[in-house]
């Protein structure tokens, strides 16, 4: 992408009402644009990061045999009334609206009810199970306050996976596979070393659920961890009984803040029972389907990663999700010519700063935008038949020969 051709600009000033670092930096660097608190547009660079995160998640879920679909925002109240979740007393973050032809609708804050309803068209026999279905879909939650940039959205992108099984063992088995897939996803996103599987409340249907919490100063959750961080507990389950249960009463726990980027939950019959999702088993008896659900906050992840790696100069993306691998600058007539040559054929990898601006400004923007490697070709580097590479992470610079640059970059 040529910076001279894109509409985005880096902004020197942070937006006044943006107090979260991720919101401030992502806006200044031209990745997002704020519509209102908790509601953001994704600009070309931001959309590329989102798509890169989706690609990693999709890849790991497809390996488990999961199938991708896309469900709707508008929600018929009926199935939600059967589970008691359409009531604003029960679920206090609904956005609701009215059909012109009459009747109240909701905007989906999550999709358990409609997916269970949908499964009634596709599940009749034990032979139809197991089923694993996911989507990347916008969720709507009417949060009273939304001050954390894209960490807490009123409108945000989530990956939600639902699984359906004939037995608890099969659910347990798949649950574990998703745990492992989540670990691989967080490794590929470069946040495995600060993201911990955390015991949280399982509601009344299972002892615990698991959250994936990334330790982060601005995180909105409070968690407790033991010395080697082998046991991490959400505040809601940090009590004597649970510590006894997990056999860690002797250990010392410390408190920290964290951002929940994923959760996995054995729902069992919680939604399939009230909505009547049944199958006929081998012995011809009717049985209720076991269910699990597994979320990852995609836009929140982008915010968490932005916060996590940012420094005083700006953003700093892991290579796996950076919108571009290279930030290319040509200086001087010959430098610009060589830069054009490098860009040609590498348009998808390279953010080419071909704007009519001073090199200093380009260097600053390359740092603010957080592109992993900066490549500078100038008359000075050309005198040594080379280009200068700078690593955004370490700040380290080194020379590579033009030959190597054109061959292996």
Binding footprint of a second copy on the chain (CB under 8 A): 5-9, 11, 33, 35-36, 39-44, 47, 50, 65, 67-76, 92-93, 95-101, 105, 107, 114, 118-119, 121-123, 128, 131, 133, 138, 140, 142-145, 154-155
Closest contact distance (angstroms) between CB of 308 and a second copy is 23
Look at the block and give the residue holding tokens 């348009």. 347
Nearest C-alpha neighbor of 326 from the set 362, 372, 368: 372
Pick 66 or 405: Cβ nearer a second copy: 66
CB of 356 to a second copy, least distance (A): 9
> How many residues appear in the chain?
409
Question: Exposed e or buried b for every residue in 190-219, given b needs 16+ CB within 10 A?
Answer: bbeeebbbbbbebeeebebbbbbbbbbebb
Least separation, in Å, of the C-beta of 388 and a second copy? Answer: 29
Per the CB < 8 A criterion, the answer to whether 10 and 28 are in contact is yes
Cβ closest to a second copy, residue 122 vs residue 398? 122
CB of residue 55 to a second copy, shortest distance in Å: 13
Using the minimum distance from each CB to a second copy, give the nearer residue, 34 or 183: 34
Q: Least separation, in Å, of the C-beta of 90 and a second copy?
A: 15
Cβ proximity to a second copy: between 44 and 217 the closer is 44
Minimum CB separation of residue 62 from a second copy in Å reads: 10
- 327 burial type by CB count under 10 A (0-12 exposed, 13-18 middle, 19+ buried): buried
Both ends of the chain: CA-CA distance in Å? 16
Residue number with CB closer to a second copy (203 or 345): 345
In the bound state with a second copy, the residue whose beta carbon lies nearer, of 72 and 176, is: 72
Q: Which is nearer to a second copy, 40 or 271 (CB)?
A: 40
Alpha-carbon distance values, 362 to 168, 246, 373, 380 (Å): 57, 54, 13, 17
- Least separation in angstroms between residue 118's CB and a second copy is 5
- Output the smallest distance, CB 150 to a second copy, in A: 12
Residues 308 and 380: their CA atoms lie apart, in Å, by: 35
Return the number of the residue (115 or 389) whose C-beta is nearest a second copy: 115
Nearer to a second copy, 66 or 376 (CB): 66
- Other beta carbons within 10 angstroms of residue 67's beta carbon come to 12
Phi/psi-derived region of residue 226, left when phi > 0, alpha when psi is between -120 and 50, beta in every other case: beta
Rounded-to-integer distance, Cα 317 and Cα 22, Å: 12
In 202-338, beta strands by DSSP E: 208-215, 221-225, 232-234, 254-268, 278-280, 286-288, 290-297, 326-331
Nearer to a second copy, 128 or 281 (CB): 128
Distance CA 320, CA 348 (A): 14
C-beta of 350: minimal distance to a second copy in Å?
16
**DSSP-assigned states of every residue in 221-252:** EEEEE-TTSS-EEEGGG-SHHHHHHTT-TTS-
DSSP classification of residue 202: -
Rounded to a whole number of angstroms, the minimum distance from the CB of residue 8 to a second copy is 7
Could you give the maximum distance between any two Cα atoms of the chain, in Å?
Answer: 82
């Amino acid at each position: 992408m040529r910076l001279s051709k894109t509409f985005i600009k880096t902004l020197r000033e942070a937006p006044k009402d943006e107090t979260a670092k991720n919101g401030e930096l992502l806006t200044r660097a031209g990745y997002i644009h704020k519509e209102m608190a908790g509601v953001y547009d994704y600009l070309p660079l931001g959309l590329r990061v989102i798509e890169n995160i989706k690609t990693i998640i999709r890849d790991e879920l497809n390996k488990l045999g999961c199938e991708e679909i896309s469900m709707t925002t508008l929600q018929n109240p009926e199935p939600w009334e059967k589970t008691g979740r359409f009531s604003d007393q029960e679920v206090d973050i609904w956005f609701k609206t009215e059909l012109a032809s009459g009747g109240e609708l909701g905007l989906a804050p999550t999709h358990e009810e409609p997916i269970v309803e949908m499964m009634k068209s596709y599940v009749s026999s034990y032979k139809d199970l197991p089923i694993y279905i996911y989507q990347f879909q916008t969720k709507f939650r009417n949060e009273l306050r939304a001050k954390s940039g894209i960490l807490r959205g009123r409108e945000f992108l989530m990956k939600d996976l639902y699984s359906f099984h004939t037995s608890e063992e099969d659910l347990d088995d798949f649950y574990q596979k998703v745990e492992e897939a989540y670990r691989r996803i967080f490794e590929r996103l470069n946040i495995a070393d600060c993201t911990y599987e955390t015991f949280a409340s399982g509601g009344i249907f299972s002892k615990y659920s698991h959250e994936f919490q990334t330790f982060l100063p601005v995180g909105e959750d409070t968690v407790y961890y033991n010395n080697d961080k082998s046991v991490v507990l959400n505040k809601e389950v940090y009590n004597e009984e649970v510590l006894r249960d997990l056999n860690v009463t002797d250990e010392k726990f410390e408190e920290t803040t964290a951002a929940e980027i994923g959760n996995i939950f054995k729902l069992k019959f919680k939604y399939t029972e009230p909505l009547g999702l049944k199958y006929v088993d081998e012995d011809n008896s009717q049985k209720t389907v076991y269910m699990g659900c597994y979320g990852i906050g995609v836009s929140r992840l982008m915010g968490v990663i932005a916060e996590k790696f940012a420094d005083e100069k700006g953003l700093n993306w892991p290579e796996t999700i950076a919108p571009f691998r290279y930030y290319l600058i040509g200086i001087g007539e010959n430098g610009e010519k060589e830069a054009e040559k490098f860009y040609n054929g590498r348009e998808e990898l390279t953010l080419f700063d071909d704007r009519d601006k001073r090199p200093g400004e380009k260097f600053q923007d390359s740092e603010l935008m957080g592109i992993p490697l900066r490549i500078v070709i100038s008359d000075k580097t050309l005198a040594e038949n080379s280009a200068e590479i700078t690593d955004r992470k370490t700040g380290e610079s080194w020379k590579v020969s033009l030959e190597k640059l054109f061959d292996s970059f």
